[in-house]
Structure 1
Amino acid sequence: MTTESSPLTIAQLAELAGVSTATVSKVVNGRSEVSPETRAAVEELIRLHGYRRQRRRSTPTTLVELVFHALEGDYPVEITKGVADVARAHDLTVAISDLHHDHTTTQSWLDGVLRRRPTGVIAVFSGLTEAQHDQLIHREIPLVLLDPADAPARNIPSVGAGNWNGGLTATRHLLELGHRRIAIITGPDAALPSRARLDGYRTALDMAGLPADPALIARGDFLIEGGLAQAHHLLRLPDRPTAVFATNDGQAIGVYHAAHQLGLRIPDDLSVIGFDDLPSVRWTIPPLTTIRQPLTDMAAAATTMLLTLAHGDPLPQNRVELATELVIRASTAPPPA
């Protein structure tokens, strides 16, 4: 009789599930031509008992799967650079997928990954369901989350940035310049980086003895259009802010456009600070003060972790968090007299 300590073979799984060995093979190899009910039954048995692979198995391809929640702007370019640098050094190729603003992968995407059998998967600002992660585990395909949108579950390795400290530093910079009416445009409420940056903003105000005015907290979406819309709202308040902390550089660009449309000069009438330090913000007029998160270094760290796992070695730590840094340019100044 099998127990949880003795993983099952395909034949044993098939017997317990009441299906053919070919059907079980399709499930463990990520094939799509299996009914959802049968797939769920086999995967539940694997979760309970484990799966003992035959010694003869396919070799991983020289491929790193890199999946983005969206392929827009400089953000994915900077991350791809970091992944590609490490991959190139190990003679690996990078395959890129786009989830079109979704934060969870689809089963059809995962089926393709399982067929390609990559060295590993890096998911950027997105994640997999528990069942999908189980499928990767069963195929011995490691997964690392990069800049995850939510707290990683089940000890999935991840790489992120010091978002809370970045929010604190950005707000402190504005406070030190003399600003007291400081607005913030957040990212999506559900996004972990957004919540951490907002918490840093609130902490800086609290440390300065200032209450966080709910009227100055605008819910954004990390998009330029969202920054534009929320900045219009904030800058039309009767007691408008003298500074805006946009929690990513895209929204900061939106603030620039809103200020121009309303006849406000940056930084004479309004100070603006962003978050990311994407290459393009050095060329805004005026150049944007921002919090640098080292996206390329984060991506390189995630790829190194992935290769460590692919080689069967343990990670020194499951969570890596790289420091953020204030980059002062010309978009922040003391408030108008």
Structure 2
Amino acid sequence: MAHPTIATIAEHLGLSRATVTHVLNGRGDTQRIRPETQQRVQEAAQELGYRANASARAVRAGRFGSVALIQSLWGQYLPPELLNGLVSALGDQDLHLVLSQVHDPVLEDETYLPHTLRELAVDGVLLNRHLGFSAAYLERIQKLCIPAISLNVKQDFDAIHPDDLQGGQLATEFLLQLGHEKIAFVDSDESLNKHYSKQDRRHGYEQAMAVAGKPAHVHLIPKVWHHTHTDDERITSARGLLSGASRPTAIVAYELAEAMAVVHAAHQLGLKIPDDLSIILFHSRLDNRYFLPFHTISNQMERVGRGAVELLLGKIQNPKVLLPTRAIPAALLEGMTCQPPARKNER
């Protein structure tokens, strides 16, 4: 059977098209259509497999019922938790998600977003670009009244991101409360990575150490993705950090790559985790690639996704209003890589 229409249902029930239209559009009571007739129409629509015409519904409502997630092909970040948060929040509002990935020069073109709203038939856009956008670009979006929210970037308005400064403080304070005094922050030496989290996580660590009256020690390992004939340079660098009597008893790692370099170095030196060395890292979830799940500062990406949808719905209602950027607090996920320092390391 062909896709059933209102005319099909009307003919099947011996009713007028107007009556069926009123019922399926939720106007049965206001049009004083008898309850039993409304029930007959609803049952017939379900039996025949009727689906409302999305285009016609969009014309009536002035909305498409969809939003676009536009990703840069360079520097995107879309963990499962973020996608789940977006899809769940949109589903709660009976909205759909359209995904589009484009090259940076295309995304930066001033005609791209207005064109995308029309071509993708969406009511607003979520922008997922690692480095954010220039002030001129954001001003242009605002002038064109394009409902848009930026993900995982810090800007003054219309954005949402994890609170990595608070996350750095949370990680460090947790280790301090366990009794650690020699705590190092380990990151990769990446001059090209300008994401705000590089500074904020480190600054949060440094601030917490300063409040506790403890010296901060930031250690940068090389950003090398190949192995030499003898060793990986990242592990060699981490091994240097962990050698000697004054080595740290705890590590705050920027993310998983740095934590694993420390793990490999510790094993080469005969240090046990967490008996001899505690490690806490930043991630969206607990990770057990080191057999034991790492203690983790979660960026709570599902909450970021839900918050992004909430902000975007506000922008769709009033595109001219600048919405304050929202920072989602980090949360501590307890794994098995942290414990109080061994006494031999506290001498």
| Same fold at TM > 0.5 | yes
User: Is 1:89–2:98 an aligned residue pair?
Assistant: no
Q: 1:66 aligns with which of 69, 73, 87?
A: 69
Structure 1 272/220 Cα, relative in aligned 2: closer, same or farther at 3 Å? farther
Question: Shift of the alpha carbon at 1:301?
Answer: 0.7
Question: Shift of the alpha carbon at 1:218?
Answer: 1.6
Contact persistence 2:282–2:296 (CA under 8 A): yes
User: Is 1:272–2:273 an aligned residue pair?
Assistant: no
Q: Which amino acid aligns with 1:198?
A: R
Provide the residue aligned with 1:120 in structure 2.
124
Contact persistence 2:238–2:265 (CA under 8 A): no
| Structure 1 range deviating more: 109-118 or 291-300 | 109-118
User: Is 1:147–2:114 an aligned residue pair?
Assistant: no
Question: Shift of the alpha carbon at 1:129?
Answer: 3.4
Question: Shift of the alpha carbon at 1:295?
Answer: 0.8
| Structure 1 range deviating more: 320-329 or 124-133 | 124-133
User: Is 1:166–2:167 an aligned residue pair?
Assistant: yes
For residues 118-173 of structure 1, the C-alpha deviation after alignment (integer angstroms, 9 at most, x for no partner) is: 3222223442334543553454321112220xx31xx4312123322211121122
For residues 213-238 of structure 1, the C-alpha deviation after alignment (integer angstroms, 9 at most, x for no partner) is: 3xx432677x999xx85454132234
Q: Secondary structure at the match of 1:164?
A: helix
Contact persistence 1:87–1:303 (CA under 8 A): yes
Partners in 1 of 2:194 and 2:175 — Cα distance?
26
User: Is 1:235–2:242 an aligned residue pair?
Assistant: no
TM-score (norm 1): 0.66
Provide the residue aligned with 2:82 in structure 1.
79
Structure 1 156/118 Cα, relative in aligned 2: closer, same or farther at 3 Å? farther
Partners in 2 of 1:254 and 1:69 — Cα distance?
29
Provide the residue aligned with 2:339 in structure 1.
333
For residues 39-97 of structure 1, the C-alpha deviation after alignment (integer angstroms, 9 at most, x for no partner) is: xxxxxxxxxxxxxxxxx9xx664332223456999952111111111222233322334
Question: Shift of the alpha carbon at 1:297?
Answer: 0.9
Structure 1 186/123 Cα, relative in aligned 2: closer, same or farther at 3 Å? farther
Partners in 2 of 1:136 and 1:321 — Cα distance?
22
User: Is 1:300–2:306 an aligned residue pair?
Assistant: yes
TM-score (norm 2): 0.64
Q: Which amino acid aligns with 2:277?
A: L
Partners in 1 of 2:219 and 2:289 — Cα distance?
27
Provide the residue aligned with 1:252 in structure 2.
259
Percent of aligned pairs sharing the same letter: 26
Q: Which amino acid aligns with 1:168?
A: Q
Partners in 2 of 1:135 and 1:94 — Cα distance?
24
Q: Secondary structure at the match of 2:309?
A: helix
Provide the residue aligned with 1:15 in structure 2.
none
- Give the gaps of 5 or more residues in structure 1: 1-55
User: Is 1:199–2:203 an aligned residue pair?
Assistant: yes
Structure 1 145/205 Cα, relative in aligned 2: closer, same or farther at 3 Å? same
For residues 6-36 of structure 1, the C-alpha deviation after alignment (integer angstroms, 9 at most, x for no partner) is: xxxxxxxxxxxxxxxxxxxxxxxxxxxxxxx
Partners in 2 of 1:123 and 1:77 — Cα distance?
17
Q: Which amino acid aligns with 1:88?
A: G
Structure 1 86/246 Cα, relative in aligned 2: closer, same or farther at 3 Å? same
Provide the residue aligned with 1:212 in structure 2.
216
Coordinate RMSD, CA, aligned: 3.8
Contact persistence 2:162–2:327 (CA under 8 A): yes
Question: Shift of the alpha carbon at 1:254?
Answer: 4.4
User: Is 1:156–2:160 an aligned residue pair?
Assistant: no
Structure 1 235/241 Cα, relative in aligned 2: closer, same or farther at 3 Å? farther
Contact persistence 2:238–2:261 (CA under 8 A): no
Q: Which amino acid aligns with 2:202?
A: L
Structure 1 157/83 Cα, relative in aligned 2: closer, same or farther at 3 Å? same
Structure 1 234/296 Cα, relative in aligned 2: closer, same or farther at 3 Å? same
Provide the residue aligned with 1:179 in structure 2.
180
Question: Shift of the alpha carbon at 1:180?
Answer: 2.9
| Structure 1 range deviating more: 74-83 or 197-206 | 74-83
Q: Secondary structure at the match of 1:171?
A: helix
Question: Shift of the alpha carbon at 1:181?
Answer: 2.8
Partners in 2 of 1:142 and 1:165 — Cα distance?
29
Q: Which amino acid aligns with 1:211?
A: P
Structure 1 181/89 Cα, relative in aligned 2: closer, same or farther at 3 Å? same
| Structure 1 range deviating more: 177-186 or 314-323 | 314-323
Q: Which amino acid aligns with 1:325?
A: A
Question: Shift of the alpha carbon at 1:274?
Answer: 0.8
| Structure 1 range deviating more: 230-239 or 263-272 | 230-239
Q: Secondary structure at the match of 1:301?
A: helix
